[in-house]
């Protein structure tokens, strides 16, 4: 039930009356905030009406305004406020995983409250994690109106000087912290110019020291402009390091360091602007409101795991997907020459996959223990995929994790309204036809290779490579209706997505940790291989470490999935389109082709659906992560589908075969 302004004013007046005789500042502030807080965080208009009612009470009753003013100034002067001012979005000077553990622990068992510190009292004022929503939603003008109604200008000089002194002390603490961060080895490694020239991280502290000296001197005019210039230079360096990380890589430690620096610099600028306005006799209502909202946000999100992951992993994900997108460009065909080259590459992979399927069946016949079986299956898959990569062949299902990043890279994250929709649709069309020809190439030779192996075994041994029973099992495994084939295909799609992230991570690792340069410096490798051959090896590692790691770990994920299912008693397995097609070839020869055409057609449909699920899951997950890492809030899916359908209707052949001339 919504309250009128009069009802709100009466209830607020009762809060003041209750505490007019007993000056308990924290309790007064807590009760007033509870009175302003709306029943639901999205009911901003209720909060606005309550604030207007409070302003009415303060403007019509000087005594109540004095009571609230003295309570707030008492909090800012007597309750150790410095620790509250220096907390920037609750950023602490610990590592990523240490902070994650802290947040988890404090979610389970909250911190002990020390009421002598204002930062702890803040937790008693804003008791709900949703308070940040309505506080931020209330416009700055409304909060500024409340500040004006409190009339801090008529407060005594003694208490206001104490408050300013606390602000200065907080600014000094922040300045020291920024200077210390500017000397971190991780930062100096990524920006060595800081050691060659005057570091703005150090200079801002020196400028602040001069500002503090001027504050205490009547004859010297204090000016924050020089400090602001130094802080702007600090921000420029952080932005440059972030941009360079696309070429030189990044790490969780560096990402966390840069995140903390930006937060501390922003908070110091806010405090300095407030101090400068107070010095000039101007009421800093806007700056105070911004600081207040930031402090409430910090309090409400201090144990927020999602925010912690999002802020720190976002840049890492961007680096990973950018590395993947550079690889993904090789999987998207622009013209018919590239199209048929990709098909030939996929045909070569189909032969190797047929052999890998043969080895898997042979290993499965050994009745090994689950763990041993998982290890040998993983080695078969992993080493086979590495061989495919070394021979420059293509596995169709490796494409989505790479092409999705390339598609996301083609989208401008700055403005959703200015998306180049036609370019995006064209890119998707190119990716789809590349996917089609790669799958076609894999399957086209995987089935004949498997059949040739099975026929050769029968010819030379007189026995089928697999028994009738095993053949029926293989056909049942790819049945899209009566088995879990499509669910298992989705699990394989998740493995494909993870392998794409792993590949990008290792590419980033190779660049950031300078692995090629370190390999070239290994003395025993120089003696063993020679400098020129070692240089070629290091260059190959630099360009292929991510792909090799992604392929190997992809094989490990596929090989270990059934063992994980056995370990936890879950229905876990994988279905991969290329291997499923090879198993179909073995089953056909094993049954001497004694199948109806309907059964063969149904088996081919199962293979096709498995391939579709493989691609859809891995592509969807990779595209989601790639777009999230670029902060793309793409809300025009309906518009995209409309354009895509229009392109498909007008030029359907483009989704299967490139035009004769380049696009």
Examine residue 128 and state whether it is found in any structural domain, yes or no.
no
Cα maximum dimension of the chain: 107
Give the separation between CA 634 and CA 416, rounded to whole angstroms. 6
Domain identity same for 485 and 530: yes
DSSP 2-23: PPPHHHHHHHHHHHHHHHSSS-
Residue with tokens 């392109």: 647
Residues 6+ apart with CB under 8 A from 458: 464, 465, 589
The answer to whether 104 and 305 have CB atoms below 8 angstroms apart is yes
Q: How many CA atoms lie within 13 A of 490 on its CB side?
A: 7
Examine residue 202 and state whether it is found in any structural domain, yes or no.
yes
Domain identity same for 510 and 540: yes
- What's the rounded mean pLDDT across residues 442-451? 93
DSSP 515-536: HHHHHHT-HHHHHHH-HHHHHH
- What's the rounded mean pLDDT across residues 76-99? 76
First-to-last C-alpha distance (Å) of the chain: 62
- Expressed in percent and rounded to 5, the helix, strand and coil fractions of the chain are 80, 0, 20
User: Where is mean pLDDT largest: 57-61, 283-287, 456-460, 642-646?
Assistant: 456-460
Which of 127-131, 321-325, 603-607, 637-641 comes out lowest in average pLDDT? 321-325
CA of 516: how far to CAs of 532, 537, 541, 550, in Å? 13, 8, 7, 18
> Which of 253, 268, 300 is at the close of a domain?
300
Examine residue 42 and state whether it is found in any structural domain, yes or no.
no
- What's the rounded mean pLDDT across residues 629-653? 71
- Each residue of 193-239: pLDDT tens digit? 887 778 899 999 998 888 878 766 655 556 788 898 999 999 999 98
pLDDT band at 419, cuts 50/70/90?
A: very low
Examine residue 150 and state whether it is found in any structural domain, yes or no.
no
- Is pLDDT larger for residue 601 or for residue 656? 601
> Is residue 159 predicted with pLDDT exceeding 90?
no
Domain identity same for 611 and 478: yes
- Each residue of 111-150: pLDDT tens digit? 888 888 888 888 889 988 899 999 999 999 999 999 999 9
Domain identity same for 460 and 358: yes
Residues 6+ apart with CB under 8 A from 255: 96, 312, 315, 316
Domain identity same for 320 and 285: no
Residues 6+ apart with CB under 8 A from 441: 342, 343, 344, 345, 346, 347, 349, 350, 394, 396
Residues 6+ apart with CB under 8 A from 190: 241, 244, 245, 248, 254
- Is pLDDT larger for residue 458 or for residue 337? 458
- What's the rounded mean pLDDT across residues 72-94? 79
Domain identity same for 333 and 222: no
Domain identity same for 388 and 465: yes
Domain identity same for 357 and 289: no
pLDDT band at 663, cuts 50/70/90?
A: very low
- Each residue of 6-41: pLDDT tens digit? 777 888 888 887 775 445 788 889 889 998 999 998
Closest CA to 351 of 398, 388, 376: 388
Give the separation between CA 381 and CA 342, rounded to whole angstroms. 22
CA of 26: how far to CAs of 31, 115, 146, in Å? 9, 9, 18
The answer to whether 320 and 501 have CB atoms below 8 angstroms apart is yes
Domain identity same for 296 and 350: no
Long-range residue pairs from 476-484, CB within 8 A, at least 24 positions apart, any chain: 477/575, 477/580, 477/583, 478/575, 478/580, 478/583, 478/584, 478/603, 478/606, 478/607, 478/610, 479/602, 479/603, 479/606, 480/605, 480/606, 480/609, 480/610, 484/571, 484/573
pLDDT of the residue at 140? 92
CB count within 10 Å of CB 653 equals 9
> Is residue 416 predicted with pLDDT exceeding 60?
no
Buried b (16+ CB within 10 A) or exposed e, 439-454: bbbbbbbbbbbbbebb
What is the count of structural domains for the chain?
Answer: 2
Domain that holds residue 196: 156-300
- Each residue of 362-407: pLDDT tens digit? 999 998 998 999 999 999 999 999 999 899 898 866 555 556 556 6
> Is residue 417 predicted with pLDDT exceeding 50?
no
> Is residue 580 predicted with pLDDT exceeding 90?
yes
Give the separation between CA 205 and CA 231, rounded to whole angstroms. 10
- Each residue of 531-575: pLDDT tens digit? 999 999 999 988 888 888 888 999 999 999 988 888 888 878 899
pLDDT of the residue at 640? 66
> Which of 266, 300, 334 is at the close of a domain?
300
Percent of the chain clearing pLDDT 90 (strictly above): 33
> Which of 271, 300, 329 is at the close of a domain?
300
> Is residue 161 predicted with pLDDT exceeding 90?
no
Examine residue 149 and state whether it is found in any structural domain, yes or no.
no
Domain identity same for 469 and 341: yes
Domain identity same for 179 and 246: yes
Give the domain CATH number at 631. Answer: 1.20.1080.10
Q: How many residues does the chain have?
A: 663
Residue with tokens 């070839």: 585
Mean of pLDDT over the chain: 83
Domain identity same for 357 and 264: no
């Amino acid at each position: 039930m919504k309250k009128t302004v009069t009802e709100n004013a009466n209830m607020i007046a009762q809060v003041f009356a209750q505490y007019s005789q007993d000056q308990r500042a924290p309790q007064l502030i807590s009760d007033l905030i509870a009175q302003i807080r709306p029943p639901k965080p999205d009911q901003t208009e209720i909060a606005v009406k309550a604030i207007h009612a409070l302003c009415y009470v303060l403007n019509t009753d000087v005594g109540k305004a004095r009571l609230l003013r003295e309570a707030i100034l008492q909090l800012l002067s007597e309750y150790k406020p410095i620790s509250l001012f220096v907390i920037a979005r609750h950023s602490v000077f610990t590592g990523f995983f240490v902070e994650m553990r802290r947040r988890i622990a404090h979610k389970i068992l909250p911190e002990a409250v020390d009421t002598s510190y204002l930062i702890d009292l803040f937790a008693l004022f804003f008791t709900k994690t949703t308070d940040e929503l309505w506080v931020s939603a209330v416009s700055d003008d409304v909060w500024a109106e409340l500040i004006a109604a409190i009339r801090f200008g008529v407060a005594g000089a003694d208490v206001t000087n104490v408050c300013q002194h606390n602000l200065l002390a907080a600014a000094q603490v922040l300045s020291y912290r920024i200077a210390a961060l500017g000397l971190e080895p991780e930062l100096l490694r990524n920006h060595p110019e800081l050691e060659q020239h005057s570091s703005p991280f150090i200079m801002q502290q020196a400028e602040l020291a001069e500002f503090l000296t001027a504050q205490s001197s009547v004859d010297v005019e204090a000016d924050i402009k020089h400090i602001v210039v130094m802080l702007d230079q600090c921000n420029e360096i952080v932005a440059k390091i972030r941009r360079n990380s696309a070429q030189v890589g990044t790490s969780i430690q560096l990402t966390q360091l840069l995140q903390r620096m930006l937060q501390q610099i922003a908070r110091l600028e806010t405090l300095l602007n407030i101090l400068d306005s107070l010095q000039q006799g101007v009421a800093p209502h806007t700056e105070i409101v911004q600081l207040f909202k930031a402090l409430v946000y910090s309090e409400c999100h201090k144990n927020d795991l999602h925010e912690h992951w999002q802020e720190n992993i976002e840049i890492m994900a961007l680096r990973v997907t950018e590395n993947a997108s550079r690889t993904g460009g090789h999987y998207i065909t622009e013209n018919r020459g590239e199209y048929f080259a990709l098909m030939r590459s996929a045909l070569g992979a189909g032969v190797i996959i047929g052999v890998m399927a043969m080895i898997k069946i042979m290993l499965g016949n050994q009745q090994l223990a689950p763990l041993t079986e998982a290890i040998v299956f993983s080695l078969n898959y992993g080493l086979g995929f590495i061989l495919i990569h070394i021979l420059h062949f293509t596995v169709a299902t490796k494409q989505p994790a790479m092409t999705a990043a390339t598609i996301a890279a083609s989208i401008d994250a700055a403005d959703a309204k200015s998306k180049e929709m036609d370019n995006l649709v064209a890119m998707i069309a190119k990716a789809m036809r590349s996917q089609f020809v790669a799958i076609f190439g894999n399957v086209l030779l995987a089935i004949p290779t498997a059949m040739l192996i099975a026929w050769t075994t029968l010819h030379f041994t007189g026995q089928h490579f697999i028994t009738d029973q095993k053949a029926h099992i293989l056909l049942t495994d790819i049945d899209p209706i009566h088995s879990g084939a499509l669910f298992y295909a989705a699990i394989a799609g998740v493995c494909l997505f993870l392998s794409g992230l792993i590949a990008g991570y290792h590419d980033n690792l190779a660049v950031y940790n300078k692995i090629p340069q370190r390999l070239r410096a290994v003395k025993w490798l120089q003696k063993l291989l020679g400098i020129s051959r070692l240089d070629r090896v290091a260059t190959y590692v630099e360009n292929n470490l991510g792909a090799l790691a992604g392929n190997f770990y992809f094989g490990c994920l596929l090989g270990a999935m059934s063992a994980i299912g056995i370990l936890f008693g879950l229905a876990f397995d994988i279905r991969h389109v290329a291997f499923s097609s090879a198993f179909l070839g073995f089953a056909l020869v094993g049954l001497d082709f004694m199948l109806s055409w309907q059964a063969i057609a149904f088996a081919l449909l199962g293979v096709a659906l498995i391939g579709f699920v493989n691609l859809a899951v891995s592509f969807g997950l990779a595209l989601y992560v790639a777009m999230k890492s670029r902060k793309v809030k793409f809300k025009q899916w309906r518009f995209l589908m409309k354009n895509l359908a229009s392109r498909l209707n007008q030029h359907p052949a483009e989704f299967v075969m490139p035009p004769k001339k380049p696009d």
